[in-house]
Amino acid sequence: METNFSIIHNWIVTNYEAGNGSFYNFLFNNIFWTFYFLNTIFGIAAYKFGFAKQLPLLKSIFVYVMLILGMFIITIFSIVRLPMTESLIIISIVLGIYRYRLYKDRQSRSEEHLT
């Protein structure tokens, strides 16, 4: 019995394995880079929404380079069908909602102080 937790991996393999066109063949044949791109985008979003502080330029560049390099390990876990990409998507959504609510709360507090 095979355990498979990755919905996105299943979707890519199921839909694009037959190769319905050149773009789809590219996605399936380069599945590592597809997951690397997705993981990097959602990892950067999660970092920006939840943990980013105003840093000097070189420190900020260092943080993003380390984040991009660290995504190789996360991508390896995605390829062996662990739900890493799905987890990053959920983290990004939750932190995005949190940031939006924090923004609205701060906005309402500043309006209360003005009146």
Query: Is 107 domain-assigned?
Result: yes
Query: Is 63 domain-assigned?
Result: yes
Give the chain as a 3 state SS string: CCCCCCHHHHHHHHHHCCCCCHHHHHHHHCHHHHHHHHHHHHHHHHHHHHCCCCCCHHHHHHHHHHHHHHHHHHHHHHHCCCCHHHHHHHHHHHHHHHHHHHHHHHHHHHHHHHC
Query: Is 11 domain-assigned?
Result: yes
Query: Is 51 domain-assigned?
Result: yes
Query: Is 103 domain-assigned?
Result: yes
Domain count across the chain: 1
Tens-binned pLDDT, residue by residue, of the chain (115 aa): 466 677 787 777 777 665 556 666 666 678 888 899 999 999 999 999 988 788 899 999 999 999 999 999 999 998 888 889 999 999 999 999 999 999 999 999 888 777 6
Domain that holds residue 77: 7-114
Query: Is 1 domain-assigned?
Result: no
Query: Is 48 domain-assigned?
Result: yes
Query: Is 2 domain-assigned?
Result: no
